Amino acid sequence: MVDRREQIVQAAQELLAEGGLRALSVRSTAARAGIGASTLRHYFPTQQALFDTVMSVSFNAHLDDLRIADRQVPAADRLSECLAQFLPPSDAETAQLLDWLSMYSAALGPRRTDQATRALTSLTALGRQRVAAWLAVLQEQGELRHPNVDRHVTLLLAHLDGLCLALLVPDSGFTLADALEQLRELIAAMVVHPSAETETVREDRPTHPDER
């Protein structure tokens, strides 16, 4: 039996791969799936809903939760590893960020298109959701200094955007190692450091006569 929703998503992915964002619409997707537009709207009431689902498939394929829940690994290391997935894997692959920059231009620039705006809206929401989920794990474990997860999400994503732009500046000398170091410094200010707090407790604790 054909899973109609999956059929629609597959058709949309094919159109996206063949013609880019401009090729993706309710009508073109319905035609590719061999169904009527009204049938498609039963599964995806709005064009944004269709874009949200299609973008999520690609987005989630490139991100992993890695060791975010592993208490044996320091919280700063876990969050750094997860967020590093938003950066290129090496300096040689920094050019990949041009696609990210092009999407902003296509969605917000003078020649912006509805499709690009919808795609950016979807990807921005997906990014916030994933980072919020990682932070929620750390918050539940008591690893965050500040309880406002949304505040952390905004700060981290804004910082990542800035790092991506810095990596794209020609001949800037700014490297992926620099970006990862700065990201780690920001994260270090957000998380609790058990070893440091333990030392503070030891220093403040009254000394027993037998320990002198």
Identity (one letter) of the amino acid at 82? C
Using a 10 angstrom Cβ sphere, with 0-12 exposed, 13-18 middle and 19 or more buried, the burial of residue 179 is buried
Architecture of the domain spanning 4-60: Orthogonal Bundle (1.10)
Q: How far is CA 207 from CA 125, 126, 211, in A?
A: 52, 52, 6
Q: How far is CA 24 from CA 5, 27, 29, 54, in A?
A: 16, 8, 7, 10
pLDDT, residue 193, reads: 79
Chain centroid to Cα 78, Å, comes to 15
Using a 10 angstrom Cβ sphere, with 0-12 exposed, 13-18 middle and 19 or more buried, the burial of residue 43 is middle
Crossing angle (nearest 10°) for helices 47-61 and 114-140? 50
Spell out the domain ranges in the chain: 4-60, 63-193
Torsion angles phi and psi, residue 6, rounded to 5:
-65, -35
Q: Terminal CA-to-CA distance of the chain, rounded, Å?
A: 77
What are the per-10-residue average pLDDT scores of the chain (212 residues)? 87 93 93 95 94 92 95 97 97 94 94 94 96 97 94 97 96 97 97 60 44 43
Predicted TM-score of the model (pTM): 0.85
Convert 132-143 to b/e letters by CB count within 10 Å (16 or more is b).
Answer: bebbebbbeeeb
Q: 3-55, pLDDT tens digit by residue? A: 999 999 999 999 999 998 889 999 999 999 999 999 999 999 999 999 999 99
Average pLDDT of the chain? 90
- How many C-beta atoms surround the C-beta of residue 59 within 10 A? 17
Domain 63-193 has CATH 1.10.357.10: yes
pLDDT, residue 87, reads: 97
